[in-house]
Amino acid sequence: MSAHRARPLDPRAWIIWAVAATLPPLIGRNPWPLAATLLAVLGVWAAWSTGAAGARWRPLLRLAVVFGVVSVLFNLLTAHVGDRVIGALPESWPVIGGELTLNAFIYGLLSAMAIFSLVAVSATLGATLDWSATMRLLPERMAALAVAGSVAWSYLPRTTAAFIEIREAQMARGYRPRGIRDAAPLVIPLLAGGLERAMITAEALEARAFGAPLAPELTPRPWQVASLLGGLVAALTGAFCLALGQLMVAGALLALAAASLMAGLFTRNRGGLRLRRTRYRDPVWERAEWIVSGGAIAVLAIEIGVLVLDPVAFRYEPYPSLTAPAINLPLLVVLGFLLIPAAVRP
């Protein structure tokens, strides 16, 4: 008898896991939590990336390795700070001239590790998420936006696959790339194919009434549109303030954004009717989803607690002198629980 085919986990469980896994590389460069997170994420990726979905997202990981190498070189050549000098370039050379330090090399390496972790989380989501189920999580009024986003996202692996096919076809015709000028036989068919796929997708969507005007009784009121726009602007501004470290302003703006979006999305339309999407199959939320989401929420809560009580556990600077990074053993143990999705079987 063949083995029982595993169903995909519910997207909500994956999204909670992804939030917990992206926090360490986003908030610091301490190599210990970075390494623990990266190992756990790679374990989950390796366990779930079997089959065609995994193969589609593998080139993205290879690209992340290239970006990582670029990050190390860029930091080494442009950050002339630190106490461990390993060489020097003439001062007269613009931007890269000056001392080359081990400190800059190590910071570049840690940044590369963080970038790779984030890309590995994205690749895992890309290979495992059930996109149609994910789209259904969005409020009804954002269905059009969700379809557009989903189509755009699906173009990434499709373009990668098309690139590989075009390259193989051209090589069968004797094409051998020697430099940047030989890219035309690859880029032009890739662009033409991409435009053709976009046209076909647009026609298919239009044939299914995507983007058609709503019935008057379903049209949102002007204040609902204004509330949605205001909510989106507040969310973007709040995210910007958060990136600048202005926590109070960011918190106020994000709360305002949440209130505005809720008001815009969940109130009734002109005719008192609501858009309602029919479901062919209800989402499944069973023991595996409870275990993955529960574990991820616990990890997230402890990450936030450690960030408040012992921020050095996440942060590390090899400048101006190279010192040993701080270690928080309970945090490392907890980050190991990010491996849970590799252990459960839905």
Partner 1 sequence: MTLPWHIIRLWVLISLAALLAGVLLRPAPTLADEELHHAGLVVRDAEARMTYAWVPFAEEEIDGIKLLHLSGIPVVTVGFGALGEGVCSIAGQGCGVAECRRNVCQGSTADAPYWQYFKQDPADPAAWTWQPLGASSSRVEDGDVFGWSWTAGDPGLPALAPGEIAKRAGAADEAVREPVFSTVLPDGVAAMMNAPPPDARTTAAAAAILILIAGSATALAVKRRAEAVA
Interface with partner 1 (CB under 8 A): 2-3, 29, 32, 35-36, 39-40, 42-44, 46-48, 50-51, 78-79, 81, 83, 86-90, 95, 100, 107, 178, 241, 243-249, 312, 315, 317, 319-321, 323-324, 326-327, 329, 332-333, 335-336, 339, 342-343, 345
CB of 50 to partner 1, least distance (A): 4
With tokens 């199959």, the residue in question is 281
Closest to 72 measured CA to CA, from 121, 97, 109, 19: 109
Alpha-carbon distance of 149 to 151, in angstroms, equals: 5
Alpha-carbon distance of 122 to 45, in angstroms, equals: 10
Do 40 and 339 meet the contact criterion of CB atoms below 8 Å apart? Answer: yes
| Cα–Cα separations (whole angstroms), residue 115 to 108, 110, 328 | 10, 9, 22
Smaller CB distance to partner 1: residue 228 or 292?
Answer: 292
CB atoms near residue 14 (< 10 Å): 26
Amino acid occupying residue 54 = G
CB of 321 to partner 1, least distance (A): 7
Closest to 12 measured CA to CA, from 163, 184, 128: 128
With tokens 């690749």, the residue in question is 123
Smaller CB distance to partner 1: residue 64 or 261?
Answer: 64
Smaller CB distance to partner 1: residue 32 or 105?
Answer: 32
CB of 2 to partner 1, least distance (A): 8
CB of 201 to partner 1, least distance (A): 31
CB of 327 to partner 1, least distance (A): 4
Radius of gyration of the chain (CA): 24
Alpha-carbon distance of 203 to 177, in angstroms, equals: 35
Smaller CB distance to partner 1: residue 1 or 207?
Answer: 1
Smaller CB distance to partner 1: residue 102 or 326?
Answer: 326
Closest to 142 measured CA to CA, from 202, 203, 231: 231
Alpha-carbon distance of 277 to 263, in angstroms, equals: 19
Closest to 153 measured CA to CA, from 192, 116, 123, 193: 123
Smaller CB distance to partner 1: residue 114 or 119?
Answer: 114
CB of 272 to partner 1, least distance (A): 44
Smaller CB distance to partner 1: residue 261 or 342?
Answer: 342
CB of 107 to partner 1, least distance (A): 7
